[in-house]
Amino acid sequence: MSYISFQDVYFSYQGSADDSVRAVNGVSLDIEKGKVTAILGRNGSGKSTMAKLINGLLIPAKGKVYVDGIDTADEDRIWDIRSQVGMIFQNPDNQIVGTTVEEDVAFGPENLGVPYDELHKRVAEALEQVSMSEYAKSAPNMLSGGQKQRVSIAGILAMHTNCIVMDESTAMLDPAGRRDILDLVMSLNRDKGITVIMITHFMDEAALADKVVVVGDGVILDQGTPKEVFAHRDLALKAGLDLPPVNNILYELSKTFKDIDITALTMEEATEQVVKALAQN
Ligand SMILES: Nc1ncnc2c1ncn2[C@@H]1O[C@H](COP(=O)(O)OP(=O)(O)OP(=O)(O)O)[C@@H](O)[C@H]1O
Ligand SMILES: [Mg+2]
């Protein structure tokens, strides 16, 4: 079985305006260990609901979600899942619980019952990993949004988590802060093999993923490598995605020049295609 597995999962919110609206409406999905998976889709398509189903904050009404073979509906194992899958949300201010940075980072592992000496070591290591050691004694409310997200990530790392789910965690950051968090998460994936699931509206972030999953109205509309998904241009546009600017430029070029590959992801690849078009002229 894959690391995270959705098996024909359904979920509706009790008491939502229309109970018949299923936030997740029959999703089967496999997420591989050690990979970066991006989940895309317009507002209200069910992305956050899927994220919460992964770490057992929500339990399927029908179907199963497994994390490393553990059924998220198994109440006895919920802490095994929570310690394995950490969530980072959009608003950095809603996630900070400690009065100092180190206290905040200690919160998760402390709840897992990690003994004091070990706790101390884990907090120091985690802060080191996110380059926030010098802020250990600082008050979190003095930090920038990006620094707060780093502290939240440290809190997850201190639990020795294998998987980070980012639910639009860069959406409230300025471009530099966004880049910074993205670089950090990608390096945690590369260097420590941490599985990353990022829900995002930013196509440049999705382009970095190993796999992209497009959702709409609680169902999976498309999945594949970023290239494959962006190549399904009509479907992607119908799903409300803003395709990366390079794809839009290449698409316009392809109307006039034949054999243009509109799936380029990098500026290098795009430049190659533009040069090809010029050569045809
Ligand atoms: N707590 C809730 N109570 C009732 N309905 C909810 C609740 N949370 C979400 N919904 C509904 O469930 C559906 C899926 O919502 P979800 O938050 O998973 O979408 P999303 O893709 O994360 O959207 P966004 O891009 O706006 O974050 C939507 O129709 C939404 O209105
Ligand atoms: Mg959401």
Count of CB atoms situated within 10 Å of the CB of 267: 9
CA of 214 to the centre of ligand 1 (A): 16
| List of residues 6+ apart from 149 with CB closer than 8 A | 88, 92, 169, 170, 173, 177, 181
Nearest by Cα to 170 from 150, 156, 154, 155? 150
Does the pLDDT value for residue 19 go beyond 70?
Answer: no
pLDDT in tens, 49-93: 999 999 999 999 999 999 999 999 999 999 899 989 999 999 988
Percent with pLDDT over 90 in the chain: 76
> Pocket of ligand 1, candidates 18, 24, 40, 48: which has the most ligand atoms within 8 Å of its Cβ, to mutate?
48
pLDDT in tens, 112-150: 899 999 999 999 999 999 999 999 999 999 999 999 999
Nearest CA to ligand 1 atom 11: 23
Q: Relative to the alpha carbon of 19, which ligand is closest?
A: 1
| List of residues 6+ apart from 91 with CB closer than 8 A | 172
In short, whether 44's Cβ falls inside 6 Å of ligand 1 is yes
In short, whether 43's Cβ falls inside 6 Å of ligand 1 is yes
Nearest by Cα to 38 from 255, 234, 153, 200? 200
Strands (E) across 172-224 are located at 195-199, 211-216, 219-224
| List of residues 6+ apart from 187 with CB closer than 8 A | none
| Ligand 1 atom closest to the CA of 199, numbered from 1 | 22
Strands ordered across the beta sheet of 70-71:
24-31, 4-11, 62-67, 70-71
Percent with pLDDT over 70 in the chain: 98
In short, whether 169's Cβ falls inside 6 Å of ligand 1 is no
CA of 259 to the centre of ligand 2 (A): 38
CA of 168 to the centre of ligand 2 (A): 7
Does the pLDDT value for residue 16 go beyond 80?
Answer: no
DSSP 46: S
